[in-house]
């Protein structure tokens, strides 16, 4: 019997898993919050204080010929400064950490006259993949902000970095398809526990199984779009990391494939076969 695209993709992934695969990598660049002028990433607590965008001080913006938009509120960046103070007990100077902060503005939304310095790649959309995206009727809402890819069930909303942030277009579509498959688990669609449950901890069994479904479904949609050969190894690597969380039970791939096929069919508008 001739295999369908879902079965072919599942077999390829299992083959990669049996070989052992390289660690999965994030397919987009410019992951976190950076200083616009230096493009150096902010560290420590600043990672949690700032959205993953580009920031500059009021002075840096002015010196570059730009201006802060009227009424915009600044963001705080904190850092430790070491002060030297004489220690009278030992008769020697000692360094004391002193917490300081300065204020920054996001250059794309809060300022005018400046252009992003992030690396950008010029890709043409892949029409077959675009057809998959357009064919997802009554789907979630979308945004395309750099730095993070996620699906928010409460808002029924997907964000992925824009196409220009990826080294190749296939990476963009595999990321978008991954989040689209997550969205099929919404209570108004296929109602999977990994999406509908209120309290799920990162890495627990329900979360891990949902990640298997999302990546398997993304791989299947890449197969439909004809870009599976460019994404299959990354998918297998990502799946392997979640299989470890589930004690490397390879049967879970087959189970996830069944749910992933339902998700892919939902996105493609295929009606489920009568059992």
Annotate 213-233 with DSSP letters as a single string.
HHHHHHHHHHHHHT-HHHHHH
Domain interval for residue 76: 34-112
Last residue of a domain, one of 67, 87, 112: 112
- Give me the pLDDT at residue 45, please: 78
> Cβ distance 263 to 181 under 8 Å?
yes
16, 39: one domain:
no
Given CA atoms 190, 196, 202, 204 in this order, what sign does their dihedral have? negative
Give the pLDDT confidence of 42-60 residue by residue, as tens digits.
Answer: 888 787 788 878 999 999 9
The model's confidence at residue 270, banded by pLDDT at 50, 70 and 90, is confident
Give the pLDDT confidence of 83-111 residue by residue, as tens digits.
Answer: 777 777 776 777 777 778 889 999 988 99
What is the number of domains present in the chain? Answer: 2
> Cβ distance 79 to 40 under 8 Å?
no
Which of 50-59, 76-85, 212-221, 234-243 has the weakest average pLDDT? Answer: 234-243
Cα–Cα distance, 146 to 157 (Å, whole number): 15
86, 149: one domain:
no
Please state the rounded mean pLDDT for residues 234-249: 68
DSSP bridge pairs for 95: 84
Give the pLDDT confidence of 118-135 residue by residue, as tens digits.
Answer: 777 788 999 999 999 999
Alpha helices in the chain (DSSP H): 5-19, 46-49, 58-63, 127-134, 169-184, 193-196, 205-225, 228-245, 251-268
Cα–Cα distance, 232 to 251 (Å, whole number): 19
264, 169: one domain:
yes
Report the mean per-residue pLDDT for the chain: 83
Percent pLDDT > 70 in the chain is 80
- Nearest 5°: the CA angle 195, 133, 180 is 15
152, 258: one domain:
yes
DSSP type of residue 117: -
255 has pLDDT over 80? yes
Cα–Cα distance, 179 to 144 (Å, whole number): 12
């Amino acid at each position: 019997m001739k295999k369908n695209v879902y079965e072919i993709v599942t077999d390829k992934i299992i083959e990669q898993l049996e070989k052992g695969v390289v660690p999965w990598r994030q397919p987009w660049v410019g992951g976190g919050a950076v200083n616009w002028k230096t493009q150096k990433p902010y560290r420590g607590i600043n990672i949690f204080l700032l959205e993953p965008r580009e920031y500059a001080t009021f002075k840096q913006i002015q010196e570059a010929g730009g201006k802060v938009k009227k009424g915009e509120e600044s963001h705080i960046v904190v850092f430790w400064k070491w002060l030297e103070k004489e220690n009278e007990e030992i008769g020697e100077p000692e360094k004391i950490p002193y917490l300081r902060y300065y204020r920054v503005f996001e250059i794309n939304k809060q300022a005018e006259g400046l252009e992003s310095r992030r690396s950008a790649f010029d890709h043409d959309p892949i029409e077959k993949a675009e057809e998959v995206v357009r064919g997802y009727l009554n789907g979630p809402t979308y945004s395309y902000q750099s730095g993070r890819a996620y699906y928010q069930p409460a808002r029924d909303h997907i964000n992925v970095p824009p196409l220009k942030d990826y080294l190749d277009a296939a990476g963009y579509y595999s990321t978008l398809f991954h989040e689209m498959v997550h969205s099929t688990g919404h209570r108004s669609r296929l109602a999977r526990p990994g999406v509908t449950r209120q309290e799920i901890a990162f890495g627990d069994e329900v979360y891990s199984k949902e990640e298997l479904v999302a990546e398997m479904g993304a791989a299947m949609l890449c197969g439909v779009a004809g870009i599976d050969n460019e994404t299959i190894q990354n998918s297998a690597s990502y799946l392997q990391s979640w299989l470890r969380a589930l004690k490397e039970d390879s049967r879970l791939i087959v189970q996830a494939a069944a749910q992933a096929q339902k998700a892919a069919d939902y996105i493609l508008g295929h009606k489920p076969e009568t059992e």
